[in-house]
Structure 1
Amino acid sequence: MGAAEAAWGGMHRKWAIAALWLAAVSCPLAAAAQAMPAQKGAGRALDVVLSRLAAQGGYQILFDPRLLSGRRLAGQLPRDVSARQAMAHALQGTGLRLREAAPGVLIVEMAPAAPQPAVLNSDIVVTALHRPTRLGRTAMAISAVPGTALPQRRIFDSRTLHRQLPDLVQVPTGPLQRRLALRGVSGTGEGTVGTYYGETPVAGPSGTGFDAGATAPDVDLIDVERIELLKGPQGTLYGAGSMGGTLRTLFNRADPSRLAGEVAAEGAVTAHGQPGWAASGVLNLPLATNTLALRVAVGRRYEGGTIDNVRLGLRNTDDRRRESERVSVAWTPSPDLRLDAMWLQQRNSVGDAGTADLDAARLSADRTVRVPSREGLSLASATLHWNPDGLRVVATASHYDWDIVKQLDFTRVIDRQRGSTAACLRYAATIGGTACDDTIRSAFVAYVDARLPAALYQPMSVESSSGELRVGNAGDGPSGWTVGTFFEHRTDAVASNTVRADAASGLVVQPLDLTGLRLIATTLDQQAVFAEGRQALGRTVVATLGGRLYRYVRHAEGSTPIPNIITGTARTETGDFRSSEDGANLKAELAWTPRPGILVYATAAQGFRPGGVNITPELNDQERTYRADRLWSVEGGVKAPRLLAPLGLEASVYRIGWNDTIFAANSANGAFTYNTNLSSVRIHGGEMQATWTARRWSVAASAAIVDARLSADTLLGTNDGVGYRGDRLPNIPVITYAVIWDWEIAEKAAGTSWTMGGGLTGNGGSESTFNRESAYREHNPARVVADLYISASRGAWTVRAGADNLFDALATGRVTSSGFGLHQLYVTRPRTITLGLRRSF
């Protein structure tokens, strides 16, 4: 047997063992769950009674086991009442009550003896562990934003999430493009932060640089139930896995119990730019009482441009448009079976690059080319929730198509080749010459001039089909288990057209006037099985162990129908190239509750990203592929959401060892990028959040510190220069922070509820390259942005007035220089005054 066959056989044995293990774990536990006898009559344990009633009514119920320890049902339950009414009856005389924390999720808690403050953020019910838990009692570093806070804070897309999630670093990478980073884990290749919409993971197109992580999805945040940000590696509960963390957006489900909806409109005026507007509508329509419902959400938004092109004499060129539709259906044929289906479309466009020049007047750019870009995402998913006796089964099937037309100013890259002898020789070969003498060089320079101004016109697409199956115990207590399997088949393609732009308008000449054309197509197939089990060790300690087995295969092929003799794309090697890998990730965790309201945890977990293949001119065989990178994260944290009545505190510290880090390298002429493996990175950091909640006002402050450095010299130059041990990773600020507050000026009892609030978000400075040796080094300055709003609610109506970027700060998000352009600024939108009206029914 050959080495390849042995490796293939070994891989099959791993998957066979994993399948047998999955069956061995699931079957006896399922049988045991089904064999559980029902208890009847007065005197039954109260926790068992409530759990049974919740299951019968299709609810998920949360309670502290110590709160119900030793309590028994007093008397008989009434007949012919709903499960919810029966649970309330069971709690009579106990000093406890039921509270609905989320649709279908009930919490058992002490009944208040007097009016209480507003619900604390720690009471948000999250499903990050694929079971409902309170945020303040979830043994992991996680932030959650309730959907009701989004319109209040004017968070309408992924870009504006920084107002509540400052530690989710968003690095602009181009028109409509951002790279997400958590805890300093940032590199090219696959995204380091997983992005989920519902149960569906969404990854961007690879493009010419095989950098799917450079384009994070961006869907309108309309009719959202909750956003969850999970920090640290996620692989033993999430099929797609992630290295740095996972961002989950959970939309409101269709509700078959009532007809409801909402309409909203907003107008905006922006300093130094054009005005904007937005409108949205939501309709929830029951089709069969308590069984079938349809929910529709529609959004439109226009943001006027703010950046002027002084060379072309154009003002406010970077206007943005967003259009979205979403349809969801919920069908509940029985209390233990539910099917959720969703379809969404998102279309975004921008009129230009959206960057200003550091050396020009404020919000001005001196460019020869305009680069309008657009994208369209279509996603469909179906999720089956089945709760047979003692089990919780979730099966999801998803498919999405994402099309992007990206444009880049290529003038500087082409113009710099005037003096290139290699480019001159390539030109000479096209006219039968063998040398670059003065005559041929003059002709070559004239040819370059004729192809200016230049642009890259790159239509690209990604299509993915994925599925995930999870099986776990139905209980939400301290002991339990989850096992699952995941697959994905993803294809993407890009056509990189080097074209000529019109010197007068700055737009690409239509039909395309081609200088060169390069085609790239890739496929990624990945599979995984994963499992996680937790076990109570006494009354205050819970131990969790998890594991994941994965395998991926990536294919890539490229061709050059029209060689670009100026940049040398004819030397792109054609053919089908392949890379693959399989392996395992582990997780271990201990959680300790020394007393009610305090949680201490420690976690060690591995993360992983697939490697791949480069289809780039002039690469040797060793540079053609790059390996998967992986990391170990060790973390400790403490949560005390009610430490001193109104005061709550959370804190965590971590250390990450990241090996074979994938980063982008430059070709010799600066026209192309490709992925390579650095040596290693070490990251140390910590996070803190403090909340203070009183009867009519609340304040929350959060901060994150990240120290991400190379732990060894890089072996070659990258996009960010040659790196040496101790250099910080580029574009990662050491500190990010936010302070948000709300003050209820007048209560609803007075007829109208008035609320004033605001926020302060910011980050420290960072560098754009590893060190000062890079010719393209830039400093990203520290920035602070303040927001303020006031709202009034009366009945079904709410009116809101606000000021974003209150002090009109320039607030630079990134300064970038490269072969494409120098000293380009991504800045925060200038002061924007908004007035919005919302009505629910």
Structure 2
Amino acid sequence: MRRRSYNVMGLFISAVAVTTADSVRAQDVAMQIDEVVVTAQKREERLIDVPQSVSVMSPEDLQKLSATQFRDFANTVPGLNFTTSGPGSTQISMRGVTAGTDVNQTVAVYVDDIPYGSSTSFGRSGRYTPDGSLFDLERIEVLRGPQGTLYGASSMGGLLKYVSRAPGLDGFSGRILGSSSSTAHGSENYNVAGVLNVPLATDNAAVRVSGYYTRDGGYVDNPALGDADVNHAELHGVRADFMLTPSDELTVRLIAESQSISRDGTPEVDFTATAGGRPVLGSLRQSRQVTEPFDQDFRLVAGTVDYDFGSALLTSITSYQETRTENRFDISAEFVPLLAQVGLGTFNGVGLSDEPSTDKVTQEIRLTSQGLATVEWAFGAFYTREESDRESEMLVLDSARQPVPNIFYTLSAPSEYEEYALFGNITWRLTDNFDITGGLRYAHNRQSYTQFGSGIFIDSQPTVRSSEGVSTYLANARYHLNEYAMVYGRFATGYRPGGPNFVARDPATGSPLAPPTFDSDRLKSYEVGYKAETADGRFGVDIAAYYVDWVDIQVFDASSALGGLMNGDSASVRGGEATLTARPTSGLTLSANGSYSTARRSGIDTDGQYSAALIVDYAFLSVPAYTPFMGATVRHVSERGNAITTTTPQELPDYTTVDLRAGADIGDLRIQLFGRNIFDTRGRLSLVTSGGKPVFSILQPRTIGISLSADF
């Protein structure tokens, strides 16, 4: 964020006010407004100048929400949707680009310029997303629409980019934070975090070290096993960031990061299968015959080197990451009767472990023009090599709840993915106000997959190999109405890789339950938008409308819990987003946003889905050293259609939540009281089926707490 001060106040946003530069009149009171600078197009630009739909969450925004995890801020961002079974097991989507259950991600997750997670279904990146700390970030950028030209595969729906705070060379500093809260119908939650920035003996090096620990108390019970708060979770991690600037032109940055997530179960509740279903056991209860533990470890080392030639910036980013996940699902509702039906016995419970692991190396190098010129350009190359392994087996319990020998299902499935890509874009300024951009990326990947399986439901398959080349395109046209207003049009394409497939078999017939391979799916996106703000930055508007054409959709075959991937039909999605911001007086900030989308699939139109958020904050600015504040966030999510793989007549109902906060800044200390979901709404976040019955993940109930933070 960069700050700028003005002694003027703009008129409220309107089509005339923002497109007429002389509509701004002077005022006596100065106001300091943040100018938002982003790197969405891999170069620093004002947010208002970026010709695509982008939202930004600042550290102040996250602090207002008392956000410690992705779930805490996601539904305040227009067009950003998610389903979750708890920390570390979240599926992210944007603009309706989701098949309901996406084994391969449609939204790429980056930290700085480093892609997180596997590019294939074997690493299960669509299901298991690392849920890192939000504590020491510069900002979060949410890029809607396909980003395939600059960011590659599996960003067809958009991109979630966490921008970390770089070490500072100008002095010793730090920050600590602690919070405690209590969740209704559950237990206590705690969060502690700290960061220390230390310049080294020389004037050109510094190190920044941060760490955090978060405890989610849980709020869903499993009376079948006598367990309370089964979705209790713990998250912890550390990050070390070293920066060296041996000359004015050269900057070297090295980072190492480790994070772990552990939880006992999920926030899922069982419902009846009838339309308008009701909880079977209670609003916060589930019935599981097998425990569902989850553990995830993520490790990363990376290095970034920048060399400034003056007219161009050369950047090299190298990374190595490891992800290890161990998860178990209770599939008793489907498989206990199935095992009895095929004459294998009567059992008490059946669980299925899912243990994917990925080792991933990436290398990107790019050269980007600098300075205002008639032609701006960026060219680069990208390489990744991923080795993934998926281990899985059944746990079957007899009538005395003792494990029986596993003659049913054991899987070991190593795979490799290697990709080379070249990309570039060129912006041509035809006039001072009008420019066009063209971009192209060509990627070629090679994959191999071997299936070692034994048991009634699985067997071994010989190594399957695939090779695929894909091109993605980008075209922008941007017209500046003046310095503070811009309209644009954008065309972009995206894809997810196809490749070899996991194949189980039907125990009754022995026939395979999935094809040996599946194809990539692709989409085209058309977008128009308008961005404007008054000259003093007090009022702003950001509006976008889009149309998406998606073909050969990769879907999970839900006819069996062991189903693989297949290509479905095509779909189209149309919709829009809008964000309005206002700072009408000193201390008062208002923000309202909303999104709407509707889809057409298999010739059938779905009901429109929308979400909206209103955020109000007021700071009492009368005493400089002591600044009380208060605020509220109201979020509404409409009824959503069920996942396409769900066969029950259920939908995700609409819900509205209200958060409140109040506190004070006392010098460098902030004290904040907060209440999330204060009306204790039972929002349903995701829907899956278990044995033909719907299972919903439930929003965290009313949570009341206090947080303290201090800068030094």
Report the TM-score, using the length of structure 2 for normalisation.
0.90
CA deviation after TM superposition for structure 1 residue 411, in Å: 1.6
SS class of match (1:236): helix
Task: Mark the CA change 1:395 to 1:644 in structure 2 (over 3 Å): closer, same or farther.
Answer: closer
User: What residue identity is the alignment partner of 2:369?
Assistant: N
Task: Mark the CA change 1:263 to 1:775 in structure 2 (over 3 Å): closer, same or farther.
Answer: closer
Determine the structure 2 residue equivalent to 1:791: 663
CA deviation after TM superposition for structure 1 residue 617, in Å: 2.1
Find the partner of 2:609 among 731, 734, 746: 734
User: What residue identity is the alignment partner of 2:112?
Assistant: G
1:767 aligns with 2:670: no
Q: Please, what is the CA RMSD of the aligned residues?
A: 2.8
Determine the structure 2 residue equivalent to 1:832: 703
Determine the structure 1 residue equivalent to 2:110: 196
CA deviation after TM superposition for structure 1 residue 418, in Å: 4.0
1:754 aligns with 2:628: yes
CA distance in 1 between counterparts of 2:628 and 2:374 reads 42
Find the partner of 1:632 among 508, 517, 524: 524
CA distance in 2 between counterparts of 1:455 and 1:470 reads 47
User: What residue identity is the alignment partner of 1:198?
Assistant: D
CA distance in 2 between counterparts of 1:474 and 1:237 reads 17
CA distance in 2 between counterparts of 1:241 and 1:408 reads 26
2:65–2:72 Cα contact (<8 Å) kept: no
1:282-339 CA-to-partner distances (Å, cap 9, x unmatched) read: 0000013430001000101111121111222322222110101000001011111101
Q: Which runs of 5+ in 1 are unaligned?
A: 1-59, 64-94, 97-109, 425-443, 713-724
1:256–1:288 Cα contact (<8 Å) kept: no
1:805 aligns with 2:677: yes
CA deviation after TM superposition for structure 1 residue 554, in Å: 1.5
CA deviation after TM superposition for structure 1 residue 814, in Å: 2.1
1:547 aligns with 2:440: yes
Find the partner of 1:583 among 458, 470, 477: 470
CA distance in 1 between counterparts of 2:121 and 2:427 reads 41
Find the partner of 1:374 among 295, 304, 319: 295
Determine the structure 2 residue equivalent to 1:16: none
CA distance in 2 between counterparts of 1:621 and 1:828 reads 34
CA deviation after TM superposition for structure 1 residue 410, in Å: 2.2
User: What residue identity is the alignment partner of 1:196?
Assistant: Y
CA deviation after TM superposition for structure 1 residue 822, in Å: 2.3
Determine the structure 2 residue equivalent to 1:704: 595
Determine the structure 2 residue equivalent to 1:139: 51
CA distance in 2 between counterparts of 1:112 and 1:134 reads 24
User: What residue identity is the alignment partner of 1:585?
Assistant: T
Find the partner of 1:473 among 348, 357, 369: 369
Task: Mark the CA change 1:300 to 1:644 in structure 2 (over 3 Å): closer, same or farther.
Answer: closer
1:673 aligns with 2:570: no
Of the structure 1 ranges 615-624 and 521-530, higher mean CA displacement relative to structure 2 is found in 615-624
Find the partner of 2:162 among 249, 252, 261: 249
CA distance in 1 between counterparts of 2:2 and 2:259 reads 35
CA distance in 1 between counterparts of 2:130 and 2:407 reads 30
CA deviation after TM superposition for structure 1 residue 764, in Å: 0.9
1:412 aligns with 2:333: yes
Task: Mark the CA change 1:173 to 1:626 in structure 2 (over 3 Å): closer, same or farther.
Answer: farther
CA distance in 2 between counterparts of 1:458 and 1:622 reads 18
Task: Mark the CA change 1:593 to 1:579 in structure 2 (over 3 Å): closer, same or farther.
Answer: same
User: What residue identity is the alignment partner of 1:136?
Assistant: I
Determine the structure 1 residue equivalent to 2:206: 293
CA distance in 2 between counterparts of 1:155 and 1:219 reads 12
Determine the structure 1 residue equivalent to 2:273: none
1:64-75 matches, within 5 Å, as none
Task: Mark the CA change 1:646 to 1:475 in structure 2 (over 3 Å): closer, same or farther.
Answer: closer
CA distance in 2 between counterparts of 1:386 and 1:172 reads 41
1:611–1:629 Cα contact (<8 Å) kept: yes
Larger radius of gyration: 1
1:455 aligns with 2:315: no
CA distance in 1 between counterparts of 2:378 and 2:687 reads 45
1:344-355 matches, within 5 Å, as 344-355=257-268
1:431-442 matches, within 5 Å, as none
1:353–1:370 Cα contact (<8 Å) kept: no
CA deviation after TM superposition for structure 1 residue 584, in Å: 1.4
Task: Mark the CA change 1:388 to 1:649 in structure 2 (over 3 Å): closer, same or farther.
Answer: same
Identity %, equivalent residues: 24
CA deviation after TM superposition for structure 1 residue 479, in Å: 3.4
Q: Which runs of 5+ in 2 are unaligned?
A: 9-23, 271-278, 506-510
CA distance in 2 between counterparts of 1:206 and 1:689 reads 34
1:606 aligns with 2:517: no
1:391-411 CA-to-partner distances (Å, cap 9, x unmatched) read: 111100001000011010022
Determine the structure 2 residue equivalent to 1:160: 72
CA distance in 1 between counterparts of 2:215 and 2:32 reads 35
Q: Pick the structure with more strand per residue.
A: 2
CA distance in 2 between counterparts of 1:733 and 1:512 reads 49
User: What residue identity is the alignment partner of 2:598?
Assistant: D
1:36-435 matches, within 5 Å, as 114-119=28-33, 123-172=35-84, 176-187=88-99, 188-204=102-118, 211-239=124-152, 242-357=155-270, 358-418=279-339, 420=341, 423-424=342-343
SS class of match (1:308): coil
SS class of match (2:190): strand
SS class of match (2:71): helix
Find the partner of 1:650 among 535, 542, 547: 542
Determine the structure 2 residue equivalent to 1:816: 688
Task: Mark the CA change 1:151 to 1:817 in structure 2 (over 3 Å): closer, same or farther.
Answer: same
1:118-163 CA-to-partner distances (Å, cap 9, x unmatched) read: 415xx21111122211112222110011123222221212121225
CA distance in 1 between counterparts of 2:3 and 2:705 reads 40
Number of positions where the alignment pairs a residue of Structure 1 with one of Structure 2: 681
CA distance in 1 between counterparts of 2:521 and 2:198 reads 47
CA distance in 2 between counterparts of 1:211 and 1:624 reads 18
SS class of match (1:115): strand
CA distance in 1 between counterparts of 2:201 and 2:162 reads 27
CA deviation after TM superposition for structure 1 residue 240, in Å: 5.1
CA distance in 2 between counterparts of 1:692 and 1:339 reads 39
2:418–2:447 Cα contact (<8 Å) kept: yes
CA deviation after TM superposition for structure 1 residue 239, in Å: 4.7
CA deviation after TM superposition for structure 1 residue 726, in Å: 1.1
2:504–2:564 Cα contact (<8 Å) kept: no
Find the partner of 1:682 among 561, 567, 572: 572
